Amino acid sequence: MTEVIIASESDEEMRLNMGPHHPSTHGVLRFIVQTDGEIIRKASPDVGYLHRSIEKIGERCTYQGFMPYTDRVDYLAAMFANESWAMACEKLMQIEVPKRAQLLRVISCELNRIASHFGVSLGTTAMDVGAVTPFPYALREREYINDFIEELCGARLTYNYHRIGGVSIDMPAGWEAKVIAWLDHFEKVLPEWDRLITFNRIFVERMANVAVITGAEAVDFGLVGPNLRASGVKWDVRWYDAYSAYPELIRKLGLEIPVGVGQMGTVGDCWDRFWVRIEECRQSVALLRAAFEEIKQYPEGDICGKLPKKLRPEGEAYARVESARGDLGCYVIGAGKDEPYRVRFRTGSFNVMGIIESKSPGLFLADLVALIASIDVVAPEIDR
C-alpha cells in the first residue's frame, strides 16, 4: 500500500512511500515520491529488496551447475538468461553448437518472448491503468505457452533448458504440430487484442503523450530492448550483433525492426512502448514458423556440441542476447578451475530504472503507474 510520510507542517508537499509491496510496482520495488497534490515533483527508485548474490553464487558453482540459477535472473523470461550464460561459456571454451540446437534455442526463446510480452507485460499494463478485462485474455495465451514449454523441458517458469553446447532435450513427437496450431490461433488473437485495448479510446488517452522518452534520452540512459526501440532507435541484438540461427531466419523473412512512430501521440510515449511489444509478438510468430520449417533440414537428436572432458577454461568472454527486456549480457572469467573466477550479468531493467527520476517530475501520480508498467521492469533483473 502507499504510505504517507509527513515532510513538514509548513510544507505543502507530501512524501509518499510507494512500495515495496505496491501491486503496480511489479515486484518488491520501492519509489519515494514527493508530490504537490496529484502532481509529482520527484520519484526516486529505492532498489535492493531482492538482492540474492546470484553472481557470487555463479563463482561458487561449476559451469554446468550454474545453469539452473540463471533462470532467476529474469523469472518471466528465463530462457534468455539460460542462453546468455551458455553462449558466454561456449565462447570461452570455443564450443560449436549444432544447428538443430540453435534452432531449438530460437524456438524456446521466441515462445518465451511472447509469454513475457503478451502474457504478462501487456496484460498487467492494461490492468494497472484500469482495464481489468484484457489480463485474463493475456494469461490464457501464456498458459498455452507454459503447457508447450512444460512438454519440451518439464518446467513452466524456471526452465533450465539450455546447456553449454546446446539444449538438454529434443522436442517431443507431435510437439511442433501443437505449437503451429496455436500460432494459427494466436495470429487471430492479436487483432482482437488491438480492438479490445490497444486502440481503445480510453486506453489511448491514458497512455499517449505520457512520460515521453526521446531517442537521445534513451541512448544516454542506456535503455535497451522495446524501451529503446519505442523511442525510435533501431537497435536489436538479433539484427546488429547477430547470434545463433537468427541471421538466416531474419534474412529469409525480410523482417524490419519495429520502432515507435508516435502513431497515437509522441514518439517514445507509454503507448509506443505498449505497441512495440505487440509488434514484437507478431515477429516472434513469424520467426517461430520459419524456425520450425528450417529445423526439418537437420537430423533429430543432434542437440549438443562436443565438450572438452574437463570444463576448466582460462580467459574471459562476453555474450549478449535480445531478451524480452532487451540486451541481456553475461561476462565470465575462467581461471583454469572448475568454477568461474568472475560472473557478471548486464540487464535491461537495472538501467531503465535510472530514467524514472528524470521523467517523473510533472506527471500525475496515476501516470507514474503507467510509466512503470510501460517500461516492463522485473525486480530480479534489477537486484540480482
Q: Residue range 286-296: average pLDDT?
A: 95
- Range from 24-38, 346-360, 364-378 carrying the lowest mean pLDDT: 24-38
* Exposed/middle/buried for residue 299 (C-beta within 10 Å: 0-12, 13-18, 19+): exposed
In-domain check, residue 253: yes
Confidence at residue 301, expressed as pLDDT on a 0 to 100 scale? 85
Distance CA 63, CA 70 (A): 11
CB atoms under 10 Å from CB of 146, counted, come to 17
pLDDT at 30 over 90: no
What is the span of the domain harbouring residue 363?
A: 54-383
pLDDT at 245 over 90: yes
In-domain check, residue 24: no
Q: What is the CATH number of the domain that holds 129?
A: 1.10.645.10
Single-letter amino acid, residue 383: D
Return the ∠ at Cα 369 (arms to 367 and 374), rounded to 5°: 95
- Range from 22-26, 153-157, 237-241, 343-347 carrying the lowest mean pLDDT: 22-26
In-domain check, residue 92: yes
- Coil, strand or helix at 342: strand
Q: Residue range 120-148: average pLDDT?
A: 92
Confidence at residue 9, expressed as pLDDT on a 0 to 100 scale? 45
List, as one string, the DSSP characters of 178-230: HHHHHHHHHHHHHHHHIIIIIT-HHHHHHHTTSS---HHHHHHTT--HHHHHT
Distance CA 163, CA 300 (A): 17
Q: Residue range 219-227: average pLDDT?
A: 93
Confidence at residue 330, expressed as pLDDT on a 0 to 100 scale? 94
In-domain check, residue 356: yes
Distance CA 303, CA 101 (A): 5
Q: Residue range 93-119: average pLDDT?
A: 95
Sheet of 314-323: strand order equals 314-323, 326-335, 342-346
At residue 20 the predicted structure's pLDDT band, cuts being 50, 70 and 90, is confident
pLDDT at 52 over 70: yes
The string of pLDDT tens digits covering residues 341-367 is 999 999 988 888 889 888 889 888 888
Nearest to 319 by CA among 285, 344, 336: 344
Instruction: Tell me whether the omega of the peptide bond preceding residue 20 falls within 30 degrees of 0, making it cis.
Output: yes
pLDDT at 62 over 90: yes
Confidence at residue 23, expressed as pLDDT on a 0 to 100 scale? 67
pLDDT at 13 over 90: no
Q: Residue range 29-53: average pLDDT?
A: 87
Confidence at residue 8, expressed as pLDDT on a 0 to 100 scale? 47
Q: Residue range 243-264: average pLDDT?
A: 92
Distance CA 292, CA 298 (A): 11
pLDDT at 217 over 90: yes
Q: Residue range 242-259: average pLDDT?
A: 93
Confidence at residue 383, expressed as pLDDT on a 0 to 100 scale? 82
In-domain check, residue 165: yes
Q: Residue range 41-48: average pLDDT?
A: 87
Question: What is the percent of the chain where pLDDT is above 90?
Answer: 68
- What is the dihedral sign for C-alpha 239, 243, 249, 251? positive
What domain count does the chain have?
A: 1
In-domain check, residue 30: no
pLDDT at 47 over 90: no
Q: Which letter does DSSP use for residue 25 in this model?
A: G
At residue 25 the predicted structure's pLDDT band, cuts being 50, 70 and 90, is low
At residue 75 the predicted structure's pLDDT band, cuts being 50, 70 and 90, is confident
In-domain check, residue 288: yes
List, as one string, the DSSP characters of 40-55: EEEEEEE--TT---HH
In-domain check, residue 11: no
Q: Tell me the backbone φ, ψ of residue 172, rounded to 5 degrees.
A: -70, 165
